Amino acid sequence: MALMSSGEFARASGLSRKALRLYDELNLLRPAEVDPVSQYRRYLPTQLEQARLVAWLRRLGMPLAKIREVSTAPRASAAALLTAYWDQVEAETSARRELAAFLIGYLSGRDIQMQETQGPLAIRYAVQTDIGLRREDNEDAAYAGARLLAVADGMGGHAAGELASAAVIEALRPLDTQVPAGELLNALDHAVRLAARKLSSMVQSDPALSGMGTTLTALLWSGSQLALVHIGDSRAYLVRSGEVFQITNDHTMVQSLLDDGKITAAEVASHPQRSLILRALVAQGNCEPDLELREAQPGDRYLLSSDGLHEVVPAAAIADVLLSVADPDRAAKDLVALAIAEGAPDNVTCIVADVVAQQVPAVAAV
Ligand SMILES: [Mn+2]
């Protein structure tokens, strides 16, 4: 078969000689022969199709290694490779689109609705907080929205505790938007770090606040994915299939003594260091929260509560309300009432949230 000069091959393929030289250098299309003296490149006419294919694949934005593979494969396998490549591009673009929408919403403070990514689940929630019977301030702070639930129990005395719990809730609030499922943990982690930095700068500008801190237990939804962030001794409970599970571990001295088998469950209530917290969100120190991704199911019920509830109300009484009171608002009010009935020595906060299947437009019955 007669070889074509690079000029002839360029004209026939519609590619420039510069492009052909580049493809040679990138090892995408080697000439059939290179003259040892003149270094002129010569091509076979049968290479024309491959040359055009390389040019098209480059316009598609395909990476070089992939172009090499596709442009030298038999037609049927090339088609299959291209299909797989394009599926991957579309999946990545879709993930980036979600991330971009989330960032636009996050930065503008608006909720960007993306109908096609709306999950099949929604939550019905209610929040109740009460100062209790013995405290002069309510250092608990809470937030409940369509996608974010959070309870924070501030500590540090006087105004400090209130400021700390309010600051962490403020840092989380912008997340009550369409966070892509793949970004849930990142977004929570980022917000917690932001909150810790905020506490630091508050203490720097007012040393009277030093020692302040807050617990944080929060749930963030995306579709059926649920991210949990937890630090301190507030709690999250899950009610599923008629059973109540505590899904957070208290970061307290007594819990770690209990875990190590050094005290028994019966000794917890009377332990002198019962209220000592090992980990909390503080201006300085260990702020590493527990982060966990979970799957939500329709019918699930969640309770987030500050220790003002579970320190005084027995687990069985909490479970009884969660299992028997269908309305989330009624259930949250009943739980707070139980703490009040027990003397409510601390502030008490409860969020009750039910996971429900998203309403779909009804089809007219015939
Ligand atoms: Mn408390």
pLDDT digits (tens, 9 = 90+) for 62-109: 998 899 999 889 989 999 999 999 999 998 888 888 888 888 888 887
Q: What is the mean pLDDT of the chain?
A: 90
Distances (CA, A) of 258 to 77, 230, 255, 273: 61, 19, 5, 13
Give the mean pLDDT of 188-209: 91
Number of domains in the chain: 2
Q: How far is the CA of 307 from the centre of ligand 1 (A)?
A: 5
Per-residue confidence at 359, pLDDT binned at 50, 70, 90? low
Task: Give long-range contacts, CB 8 A cutoff, 24+ apart: 198-206.
Answer: 198/167, 198/168, 198/170, 198/171, 199/164, 199/167, 199/168, 199/281, 199/282, 199/283, 200/283, 200/284, 202/163, 202/164, 202/167, 202/283, 203/283, 203/284
When comparing pLDDT for 159 and 150, which is higher? 150
Q: Give the model's confidence band at 249: pLDDT under 50 very low, under 70 low, under 90 confident, else very high.
A: very high
Both 8 and 67 in one domain: the answer is: yes
pLDDT in tens, 270-285: 888 877 888 899 987 6
For residues 63 and 177, state if they share a domain. Answer: no
- Kindly list the protein residues that place their beta carbon closer than 5 angstroms to ligand 1, a single-atom ion: 153, 306-308, 346
How much is the pLDDT for 363?
52
Q: Report the CATH number at residue 336.
A: 3.60.40.10
Residue 197 domain-assigned (yes or no) = yes
306 Cα–ligand 1 center, Å: 6
39-43, 117-121, 294-298, 334-338: range with highest mean pLDDT = 334-338
Q: How far is the CA of 309 from the centre of ligand 1 (A)?
A: 8
**Do 143 and 279 sit in the same domain of this protein?**
yes
Predicted local distance difference test score (pLDDT) of residue 285: 67
- Would residue 91 count as lying in a domain? no
Q: How confident is the model at residue 100, as a pLDDT?
A: 87
- Give percent of the chain above pLDDT 90: 62
pLDDT of residue 116: 41
Q: Is the pLDDT of residue 366 over 60?
A: no
pLDDT of 121-141, one tens digit each? 899 999 999 999 999 999 999
- 205 CA to middle of ligand 1, Å? 26
| Distance (Å) from CA 66 to ligand 1 centroid | 58
* CATH number, residue 60: 1.10.1660.10
In a domain, 88, yes or no: no
Residue 110 lies in a domain: no
| HEC letters along 294-346 | EECCCCCEEEEECHHHHCCCCHHHHHHHHHHCCCHHHHHHHHHHHHHHCCCCC
**pLDDT over 90 (residue 111):** no
Ligand 1 centroid, distance to 300 Cα (angstroms): 26
Region 348-365: what's the mean pLDDT?
78
Q: Which domain holds residue 26?
A: 4-72
Tens-digit pLDDT profile for residues 18-51? 999 999 998 899 999 999 998 899 999 989 988 9
- Please tell me the predicted confidence (pLDDT) of residue 125: 96
- Among the candidates 12, 38, 72, a domain finishes at 72
